[in-house]
Amino acid sequence: MLREATAADLDEICALIRELAEYERLADQVNFDRDELAGWLFGDSPRAWVTLAEPDDRPGTVAGMALWHWTFSTFLGRPGIWVEDLVVRPEHRGAGLGRALLASLFERSPGRVEWAVLDWNEPAIAFYRSVGAHVVPGWTRYRWTGDGVAPAR
C-alpha cells in the first residue's frame, strides 16, 4: 500500500534517509536539521514530497519511500519528477514496493521521472533496468554548494 507522508511520519523518513546513507557509504554526509527538513516537506510551501510504502500484510509499517520533487523540461514543455531518494528496507525488497513507488510517480508526471544512481550500486541498476529505465547518455551531473568562486553577476 502506498500513501503520502504526513508530519507524523518525520521520524521514519529521517530513519530511512540515514539507512540509505549507510547503504550508499555516505553516512558522513548526512547533516540535515530535522526541523528544517520538516518545513521543506510539510510546511506552508513544501519543496519536496514523500510517498511511503507499507506492506499489505503489515499496515502502519513503513517499508520504504520515494522522496521526490517537481522539475520542468524546457524541451518537453512540461513538468516531470526528480526522485531524490528511493529506498525499500532490505526485509521488504522483492515484494514489488519499489516498482509500485516508481509507478505511482510515473502516473503523476505528464513528462518523465528521473533519478541518479551510484555507479557501483549493481542491485539498484538491475532493478531500474527491470522496470524499463535507461541511462541518459552524454550527460554529466554537476553540483554547486556555494563553495569556491561565486558566479559573476
Determine the pLDDT at residue 25. 95
Mean pLDDT, each 10-residue run in order, the chain (153 residues): 97 98 96 97 98 93 98 96 97 95 95 93 94 92 77 66
Q: pTM for the whole thing?
A: 0.91
Distance CA 12, CA 145 (A): 27
Distance CA 98, CA 104 (A): 10
Could you tell me the CATH number of the domain that includes residue 114?
3.40.630.30
Instruction: Check 42, 49, 127, 128 and give the catalytic one.
Output: 128
Domain, as residue range, for 79? 2-130
- Identify whether 89 is part of a domain: yes
3-state helix, strand, coil in the chain (%, to 5): 35, 20, 45
Determine the pLDDT at residue 150. 66
- Say which residues have a Cβ less than 8 Å from residue 117's Cβ, sequence separation at least 6: 124, 125, 128
- Identify whether 120 is part of a domain: yes
Pairing of strands 113-115, 49-53: unpaired
Q: State how many domains the chain has.
A: 1
Query: Cell numbers 510546511 label which residue?
Result: 43
128 part of the active site: yes
The DSSP output letter for 110 is: S
- Identify whether 145 is part of a domain: no
Determine the pLDDT at residue 152. 65
- Identify whether 98 is part of a domain: yes
Q: What is the CA radius of gyration of the chain?
A: 16
Determine the pLDDT at residue 151. 67
